[in-house]
Chain A
Amino acid sequence: MSRIAMKVNGADITKDVADPTLLSEFLREHLGLTGTHVGCDTTQCGCCVVHLDGVSVKSCTVLVGQAAGHAVTTIEGLAEGGQLHPVQKAFRECHGLQCGFCTPGMIMAATELIATYPGTLNEHVVREEMEGNLCRCTGYHNIVRAILTAAEEMLGPDRVVQPASDHAKTEG
């Protein structure tokens, strides 16, 4: 057992937890932040991505002690002042989610990608950079569009190349 203190979604948290506790488990089972999902046990699926001091981490592979003294942001903390984050809005607008299980991890990973990528974002870059997140429902097509739509809102059109129009008809 250790006393663990950290900032989670802007709030100071102090809890006594068993040392082997994973950050994902701490968030879900000790803090009730069940928006962070666990889809595998081997750091492969990306459903559990949260931000640790602004950097994407797979929280199923972070011990709670490693996060002590740091700031964690989860999907629940992404919207500010009741306003959805542009990435959240774009996922809805572009139908970038179906069952929604991979979505929190996708949104957190995409948010960090857009915030930190130094160059021009395009489909190829998004597909390469997001490779550590799995989705079984969407075939990734609309997630790519959601990320590039949000990127354009956040970075401006000069930093983003949108993919060619895809649906021959019936989209509108």
Chain B
Amino acid sequence: MLASLWNLVDHNTKDQFAPLQERIKLSLPPQKFKSVGKPVRRNEDERLITGRGRFTDDFSLPGQVFAVMVRSPHPHATIKGIDVSAALEMDGVLGVYTGADLAADGLGQIAHNPVPSTKYDVKLTGRGGTPVYIGEHYLLPMDRVRHVGEAVAMVVAETRQQAQAGAEAVMVDYDPLPWVADTTAATAPDAPRLWDALPDNVLVDSIFGDVKNTDTAFAGAAHVVSMRTHLGRVTGVPLEPRAALGDYDAKTGRYTLYAGSGGAVRQKHEMSSVLGVTPDKMRVISFDVGGNFGTRNRAFIEFGLVVWAAKKLGRPVKFRADRSESFLTDYQGRDLVTEVSLAIDANGKFLALRAHNLSNVGARCVSLSPLSKGSGLITGSYDIPYATLHSRAVYSNTMSTQAYRSSGRPEVTFAIERLIDKAARELGYDRIALRRRNLVKPSQMPYTNAVGSKYDSGEYEKNMDRLLEIGDFAGAKKRKEEAKARGKLLGIGFANYVESSIGTPKERADLIVRPGGVEVVIGTQPAGQGHETSFAQVTADLLGIAFEKVKITLGDTDVVSAGGGTHSGRSMRHASAVISLAVTDMIAKGKAIMAASLNIDPASVEFDDGCFRSTASNRTIDWFDLARLAIALSPDHADGVKVRRDNEMHTPVFPNGSCMCEIEIDPQTGGLELLRYATVDDVGRCINPMIVHGQTHGGIAQGVGQALWEGCVIDPESGQPLAAAFTDYGMPRFDNMPSFVTEIAEVISPTNPLGVKAGGEGGTTPAPAVIMSAIEDALLDYGPPDVSMPATPLKIWTAIHKGKSA
């Protein structure tokens, strides 16, 4: 049976990209870009380096009071009762609220929409094609707690300290239940069950690909190599703890929520739905966001609680998570188990791939992105004719998982790249040569992989060769010998990757031309990616004006009317596309305004290089002259000439690249030093190389962190999370990271006007694979090591000693 991953209209057309290219014509050819492609210094920085940023907790309102949550110490327990009477007697306590109070006010659930839904996302379902059961998500539960740290009550007091003291005095009567946290254990038929609506904990069970041809290929293959991998549970750790400030205006009946997130517009709709009010009654403000990495994209319960309590108490209510709350209850990431097998012929050609992916969604299903995103990429950068994939997701008594930097893609990259290293080792191939033999070739682009993903463009072999050059792969052998002479074990890690950037398909831009400058209002939500700079570069070039004349406005839903937020590397691509369309409309509008203003034939007006000219007049006017003419022409233009443009773009892009690293292990201690790290990343058109390099650097650190230090470890005896502070959760730090050599490859994507792919996640995608590949290479003399992530010195030391005794 052939079950296509994709449910799409134009999948089989010869060139799905042609219509888009025709529809969106750039107002100037790329060779005339003045600002695009330059490392323009950021507009964001001046406020951030002088202490004038506007992060959520920086806002304070007159009369504000403070909320603190009462959190479950149990991984799984029935809530038999909550006694708030002692807390209510405490100094300064204004109110103590439980799920029953919210229910009495008719508050709804957070309406998570976990199944990715663009035309090109995989169609995950429950067993037998049934809808995915996602679990209830009320702001405070009434029946039971399902993970340690789940909030069961909120205390509001005059000061934060009083609220903390009040929370200590809330008496919750719990009846502990059996629990399960481990991903594989949670799938057992007799595992403790989280949701009564399901017969077990498995909420997604779908099979994709070509089962028959995959089976045939495996049956006839000269070699089959298999592996089981687990990319464990980590969390985003934005340095700004999540925070929320709620306000209610009784006169207008409007709520205001100050809360940094991955998209204010989304939060506005989610929170108004929880409160049961129309979206116009909810304003969300999200200006500077101190890191997101995906784990802030979905609504947190505190967002709803502070606005609800603000109305209840008639005073603004503020919440700020402390760091241990962030470790326990920020959305987490990864936690995907893969069992993967590769069929290979006698000449080293890959024939088919079979994978079973299991995603741990935690206590509620907030997002299936980690499972879905990887599902379309299981064959990686390689031409593998047939594949089948069994995708499952499971509930467990842990915090919910959500997209975390390069959601789902490091997991499948790890599986295919580590499997190829293993195949090379076991079958006696050079690991680079085996990859080279099987890479998708530029002549095959656009290339539809065995599970239906259509790779838009890319030069994979060229990336690999360039990487080997800048990483001095040829010199590695000598460096290895030198290290050995010093008693150290040097290892080289290598990985290729391809990833997809999809994301919410709709974006809106308001383009406003005024005599003093141009404003673009757009609904993406940066958390350090520099949209105020890179979007201004695009706008400036397309209009033909100076970069300094453009201002980008984001983050206040009273100004930003629509927008998809920032995730999946979507922002630059979607913003540049919708801005291109808005500029095209604005040029048409400008021609009409000039014609009307000078009383000439509109057809005689031409636009070129930032100026309008007419054969019917000797006037040449720029955009700012035009705005002045427009204001004189009609009061409609009093606040500038405005264009609102919406765009819907489903077609994904496939950033790709190659990555290598060099490590040195001290066999006496198992200690590891990261010596070199080099990448080549095809990001499509690079708008601002300074920003893109920075994204790659940060992405590398997060991927390396997962491989070497990070982990949301749960004690198998008690179910207690053990990482609740920076003392317990290993972070990439100044002194454990190297400098990087990063190179940008620009293979222009044919899918969108500027040819953008994405640059935010490529640093992370291959990083766990490349680090573990290096560790394996360093330890080969001790036999193929069995080291799990995070690869701590103890694990490495143990592997060395096991190898010695074997």
Residues of B within 8 A of A29 (CB): 60
Our pick among A39, A84, A141 for the contact of B239 (Cβ within 8 Å) is A39
- Nearest residue (CB) in A for B530 is A98
**Contact of A76 with B by CB under 8 A:** yes
Interface flags for B713-757 (1: CB within 8 Å of A; 0: not) read 000000000000111000111110101111110000000000000
Our pick among B46, B701, B733, B741 for the contact of A167 (Cβ within 8 Å) is B741
**Contact of B597 with A by CB under 8 A:** no
B2-42 interface (Cβ within 8 A of A): 39, 41-42
Q: Is there an interface contact between A95 and B239, defined as CB atoms closer than 8 Å?
A: no
Residues of B within 8 A of A79 (CB): 50
Our pick among A37, A44, A78, A91 for the contact of B726 (Cβ within 8 Å) is A44
Interface flags for A115-143 (1: CB within 8 Å of B; 0: not) read 00000000100111011011111111111
Interface flags for B42-67 (1: CB within 8 Å of A; 0: not) read 10111111111101011010000000
**Contact of B262 with A by CB under 8 A:** no
**Contact of B511 with A by CB under 8 A:** no
Our pick among B291, B689, B735, B739 for the contact of A137 (Cβ within 8 Å) is B291
CB within 8 Å for A137 and B528 given contacts A40-B725, A95-B690: yes
Q: Is there an interface contact between B50 and A88, defined as CB atoms closer than 8 Å?
A: yes
- Nearest residue (CB) in A for B693 is A167
CB within 8 Å for A144 and B739 given contacts A20-B161, A79-B50, A138-B697: yes
Residues of A within 8 A of B55 (CB): 34, 37, 101
Q: Is there an interface contact between B731 and A134, defined as CB atoms closer than 8 Å?
A: yes
- Nearest residue (CB) in B for A143 is B734
**Contact of B594 with A by CB under 8 A:** no
Taking the closest CB of chain A, its distance from the CB of B728, in whole angstroms, is 10
The number of chain B residues touching the other chain, given as a range, is 35 or more
Residues of A within 8 A of B725 (CB): 40, 42, 44
Tally of A interface residues using CB under 8 Å: 64
Residues of B within 8 A of A39 (CB): 239-241, 290, 323
**Contact of A156 with B by CB under 8 A:** no
Q: Is there an interface contact between A37 and B693, defined as CB atoms closer than 8 Å?
A: no
CB within 8 Å for A95 and B42 given contacts A100-B528, A167-B741: yes
CA of A128 to CA of B739, assembled, Å: 14
Q: Is there an interface contact between A42 and B323, defined as CB atoms closer than 8 Å?
A: yes
Q: Is there an interface contact between A103 and B49, defined as CB atoms closer than 8 Å?
A: yes
A34-83 interface (Cβ within 8 A of B): 34-42, 44-45, 47, 74-76, 78-79
Residues of A within 8 A of B58 (CB): 28, 34
Q: Is there an interface contact between B290 and A101, defined as CB atoms closer than 8 Å?
A: yes
**Contact of B694 with A by CB under 8 A:** yes
CA of A9 to CA of B527, assembled, Å: 29
Residues of A within 8 A of B651 (CB): none
**Contact of A11 with B by CB under 8 A:** no
Our pick among B237, B698, B731, B743 for the contact of A170 (Cβ within 8 Å) is B743
CB within 8 Å for A44 and B698 given contacts A134-B239, A166-B742, A168-B741: no
Residues of B within 8 A of A34 (CB): 51, 53, 55, 57-58
Q: Is there an interface contact between A98 and B737, defined as CB atoms closer than 8 Å?
A: no
CA of A170 to CA of B743, assembled, Å: 7
- Nearest residue (CB) in B for A93 is B41
Taking the closest CB of chain A, its distance from the CB of B250, in whole angstroms, is 26
A1-47 interface (Cβ within 8 A of B): 20, 28-29, 32-42, 44-45, 47
Residues of A within 8 A of B237 (CB): 136
Interface flags for B671-703 (1: CB within 8 Å of A; 0: not) read 000000000000000100111011101111110
Taking the closest CB of chain B, its distance from the CB of A97, in whole angstroms, is 6
CB within 8 Å for A95 and B51 given contacts A127-B735, A136-B239, A139-B740: no
Q: Is there an interface contact between B41 and A139, defined as CB atoms closer than 8 Å?
A: no
Q: Is there an interface contact between B291 and A136, defined as CB atoms closer than 8 Å?
A: yes
**Contact of A158 with B by CB under 8 A:** no
Residues of B within 8 A of A137 (CB): 291, 528, 694, 698
Q: Is there an interface contact between B741 and A139, defined as CB atoms closer than 8 Å?
A: no
Taking the closest CB of chain B, its distance from the CB of A51, in whole angstroms, is 13
Residues of B within 8 A of A127 (CB): 734-735, 737
- Nearest residue (CB) in A for B38 is A172
- List 3 A-B pairs, minimum CB-CB distance, nearest first: A35-B51, A101-B290, A100-B48
> Can you show 20 pairs from A to B with CB atoms below 8 A apart?
A34-B55, A35-B52, A39-B239, A39-B241, A39-B323, A40-B323, A42-B323, A76-B52, A92-B45, A97-B45, A100-B528, A101-B288, A103-B48, A104-B49, A136-B238, A136-B702, A139-B697, A139-B763, A164-B739, A166-B739
* Other contacts beyond A34-B57, A92-B41: 14, CB < 8 A: A37-B239, A39-B241, A40-B725, A76-B50, A97-B45, A100-B45, A101-B291, A107-B49, A137-B694, A139-B701, A140-B733, A141-B737, A141-B740, A170-B743
